[in-house]
Amino acid sequence: MKKTPISLSLGALQQAYRDGVLTPIEVVEQVLATVDDDTHKAWIYRIDAVALRARAQALMVSGPQGLPLWGIPFAIKDNIDLAGVPTTAGCPDYAYTPEVSATVVQRLLDAGAIAIGKTNLDQFATGLNGTRSPYGACHNAFNSDFVSGGSSSGSAVSVALGQVSFSLGTDTAGSGRVPAGFNNLVGLKPSLGLLSTNGVVPACRSLDVVSIFALTANDAQQVFAVAHGFDAKDPFSRAAQPHGFDFGRAEQWRLGVPRPDQLQFYGDDAYAQCYNEAMEHARTLGAELVEIDFAPFADTARLLYEGPWVAERYQAIREFIDAHPESVFPVTREITLGGAKPLAADAFAAQYQLRALAQRCAGVWCDIDCMLLPTSPTIHSIATMLAEPVARNSDFGYYTNFVNLLDYSAIAVPAGFRHDGLPCGVTFVAQAHQDQPLLHLAQRWQGALQGQAATLGATGHVAMSFEPAVAVPSGQMRVAVCGAHLQGQPLNPQLTSRGARLVQRTTTAPQYLLYALSDGRRPGLVRVAEGGSAIEVEVWELPASQFGSFVDGIPAPLGIGRTVLANGSQVAGFICEPSGLQGATDITDFGGWRAYQSRLK
């Protein structure tokens, strides 16, 4: 794996800018050198070198203040508008030149990012493989004999090759995840409506989302923080909601995996082994693996090509394809025109099926926080794909198609490499508005990868460690408990009845004394200037709406203040009024309430 000259991951690039060892002009020059050789067929249109240099120079004059993506180069799938640049959707005869950029693109430009150009795709975003384009089949970043994945093919490959820092794709049935899995990338499929689709050529408007390809989950987090937000111009837009329990930062969380008899790899033992190793990797991060019935999700996935959603694809380009059928790629034409056949009654029947399946799927979430799935069951060569373009394309959607239909969020992450050098990927799936916990989990996941698995795309670089800002608030509060509210203790139901979840077992900083109060049933934690010790605590997370009633039920002399944890962070935690220490016993040497109680037995 050959390293690109400069790592374009956001952490590395932003550090280089801060240190003064790089400028946006120099980054643009590297980008121009790398995109000039487009043997992978990743690009449809590249911005003129003069214009790119002018953009970089303007950013250098303005400076990075207030621009979170200052000097960061990115690519745009060519079904997303960039002002003054043709949008083709992979069909030359369909092309038009927009006067304004798509909302999501404009937000990135306003944040200081540099648009490099438009990338190749399966025409009209119809496909998961990357070969359905008159601009040429896009090649995998690791082995040009294999597919890149699609439909956001060029968007993924341009990032994997180190030509840009991140890219925008779209995802209707897996188009923002499958190419990530095939090219060793992170691919965020956000909740429906969080990234505006205003200025995006639709595939299925009711399912489409703009997706993000990045070298790291931290990078995806930074882009998501800038790109998301309500847009009145998009009828499907909605504001992000507080996500609740942050399983991505919890020490213990419940991870759903399909029953072994429901896993499908189409005979690809290498991908099966990769998934087994991924499950073990998840355990090392604290996951409790819970086997789930995957049948209703698989049944939902099959609806995508049997119901009204094919008709929705037809509706998206109806006027054009009816007038110019010969302009449409043959496979795409065949699939799309099939959408003209279903009746309105068929659409209602499919919607009823979907609602019934959604009810069955909803029950699974009572037992899990998120799912771990293979991103794709297998990968195919370009030759195999061209020989059986419909059947082999369908192989890739086994674990992805249901996500959009059920309004879920998902993130594809790297999971290692096969013996033949091709990457494997897995995907975490959660309910709507769980984008932030998924990003946190992906950050932990990627940070724990080792060896070749830790490399970024096909660049040969490894990630820099940094903590991006949280994009969406959780709507949760964290509280440290040290006594009767610990797990298994008598007052723990006061937390669990309010929906609280245990996120961490740790200790305080060595600044505390612990007392057994005179009633013998509760401890008192007291912070001291010197002579303190580390005391065992648990950190629980509960909805902020429940926090007030929880605090109201705490009797004197105890109350809630701030507790300093072993890592130096502070959370809400129990404190004791000085008057409560009358008649109390210093039990600090026991190190915690449990240890003290065990000595009494």
Tokens representing 452 are 């070749």
Q: Count of CB atoms within 10 A of residue 293's CB?
A: 15
CA distance 204 to 64: 38
What's the one-letter identity of residue 333? R
The closest of 361, 354, 468, 463 to 405, measured between CA atoms, is 354
Catalytic residue among 7, 175, 376, 409: 175
Q: Tell me the CA distances in angstroms from 293 to 275, 296, 299, one per residue in order.
A: 17, 7, 11
Output the DSSP codes for 76-95: EETTB-BTTB-B-TT-GGG-
196 has catalytic annotation:
no
Catalytic residue among 9, 148, 151, 237: 151
- Euclidean distance between CA atoms 338 and 332, whole angstroms: 10
Two tokens, residue 26: 């120099």
Supply 46's token pair.
Answer: 């590249």
Which among 7, 9, 41, 77 is annotated as catalytic? Answer: 77
H helix or E strand, kind and range, residue 408: strand 408-417
- Tokens representing 552? 């109201």
- Nearest CA to 40 out of 156, 125, 151 is that of 156
Contacts of 409 (CB under 8 A, 6+ apart): 189, 190, 191, 403, 429, 430, 431, 432, 433, 434, 435, 438
Residues 221, 471: Cα–Cα separation, whole Å: 7
Angstrom distance (rounded) from CA 227 to CA 176: 16
Identify the three-state secondary structure at position 256.
strand
Rounded to whole angstroms, the Cα distance separating 484 from 295 reads 42
What amino acid occupies position 371? M
Three-state SS for 558?
strand
Told to judge if 77 belongs to the known catalytic residues of this protein, a careful annotator would answer: yes
The yes-or-no answer on residue 9 being catalytic is no
Residues 6+ positions from 69 with CB-CB distance below 8 Å: 10, 108, 111, 112, 113, 222, 223, 226
* CA dihedral over 238, 240, 243, 248, signed as positive or negative: positive
Which of the residues are catalytic?
77, 151, 175
